[in-house]
Amino acid sequence: MIEQYVLDFQEVDETQVAVVGGKAAHLGGLSRIEGIHVPAGFCVTTAAFRRIMAEAPSIDDRLDQLWRLNPDDREAIRTLSAEIRQTIEGIAIPGDLAAAITRALGEQAAYAVRSSATAEDLPMASFAGQQDTYLNVVGPAAILQHVSRCWASLFTERAVTYRLRNGIDHRTVHMAVVVQQMVFPDAAGILFTADPVTGNRKVATVDAGFGLGEALVSGQVNPDVFKVRDGEIVAKAVAAKQRAVHALPAGGTREVAIDPRRQEQPALTDAQVVRLVQFGRRIEAHFGRPQDIEWCLADDDFQIVQSRPITTLFPIPAARDRENHIYLSVGHQQMMTDPMKPLGLSMWQLTAMAPMHEAGGRLFVDATPRLASPAGRAGFLEMVGRSDPLTRDALETVLDRHDFVPALPEAGPGGPPVGGASAPIETDPAIVTELIERSQVSIAALRRDIRTKTGPALFDFLLEAFQEHKRALGDPLSMQAIMAGMEATWWLNDRLQEWLGEKNAADTLTLSAPGNVTSEMGLALLDVADVIRPHPEVVAFLQGVEDDGFLDELPKFAGGTEARDAIEAYLDRYGMRCVGEIDITRPRWRERPTTLVPVILDNVRNFEPGAAKRRFEQGRQEAQKKAQEVLERLRVLPDGEQKADETKRMIDRVRTFIGYREYPKYSIVSRYFVYKQALLEEAERLVQANVLLEKEDVFYLTFQEFHDVARSNQVDDQLIQQRKDAFRSYHALTPPRVLTSDGEVIAGAYRRDDVPAGALIGLPVSAGTIEGRARVILDMAQADLEPGDILVTAHTDPSWTPLFVAIAGLVTEVGGLMTHGAVIAREYGLPAVVSVVDATRLIPDGQRIRVHGSDGYVEILP
Note the pLDDT of residue 410: 60
CB 48 within 8 A of CB 97: yes
Note the pLDDT of residue 164: 85
CA terminus-to-terminus distance, the chain = 69
Instruction: Give the ranges where 417-559 is alpha helix by DSSP (H).
Output: 429-450, 455-473, 476-500, 506-509, 517-532, 536-543, 550-553
Q: Which candidate, 625, 567, 565, places its Cα nearest to that of 599?
A: 567
Please list, in sequence order, all residues whose beta carbon lies within 8 angstroms of the beta carbon of residue 319, skipping any fewer than 6 positions away.
Answer: 325, 357, 741
CA–CA dist 456, 693 (Å, integer): 20
Q: How many CA atoms lie within 13 A of 455 on its CB side?
A: 5
Please list, in sequence order, all residues whose beta carbon lies within 8 angstroms of the beta carbon of residue 179, skipping any fewer than 6 positions away.
Answer: 41, 42, 43, 44, 101, 104, 105, 111, 112, 113, 143, 147
CA–CA dist 299, 796 (Å, integer): 58
Supply the DSSP symbol for 580: T
**DSSP states along 291-319:** EEEEEEEETTEEEEEEEEE-TTSPPPPP-
Q: Which candidate, 798, 792, 852, 855, places its Cα nearest to that of 827?
A: 798
* Phi and psi angles of residue 809, each rounded to the nearest 5 degrees, phi first: -165, 170
CA–CA dist 222, 829 (Å, integer): 52
User: pLDDT tens, 40-88?
Assistant: 999 999 999 999 988 887 888 888 888 888 888 889 899 998 999 999 9
Note the pLDDT of residue 1: 52
Cα-only R_g, the chain: 31
Instruction: Give the ranges where 557-662 is alpha helix by DSSP (H).
Output: 560-574, 597-606, 611-635, 640-657
CA–CA dist 409, 400 (Å, integer): 19
CB 596 within 8 A of CB 589: yes
CA–CA dist 808, 773 (Å, integer): 9
Task: Assign 84 to helix, strand or coil.
Answer: helix
Largest CA distance in the chain: 102
CB 692 within 8 A of CB 698: yes
Question: 25: how many CB neighbours lie within 10 A of its CB?
Answer: 26
Q: How far, CA to CA in Å, does 414 sit from each of 375, 423, 773?
A: 10, 16, 54
Residue type at position 145: Q
Residue type at position 208: A
CB 773 within 8 A of CB 854: no
CB 707 within 8 A of CB 675: no
Task: Assign 810 to helix, strand or coil.
Answer: strand
Q: Report helix angle 374-387 to 389-399, nearest 10.
A: 150
* Catalytic positions: 820
CA–CA dist 129, 127 (Å, integer): 7
Q: Report helix angle 140-152 to 95-103, nearest 10.
A: 110
- Residues (pLDDT < 70) of the chain are 1-2, 120-131, 218, 409-423
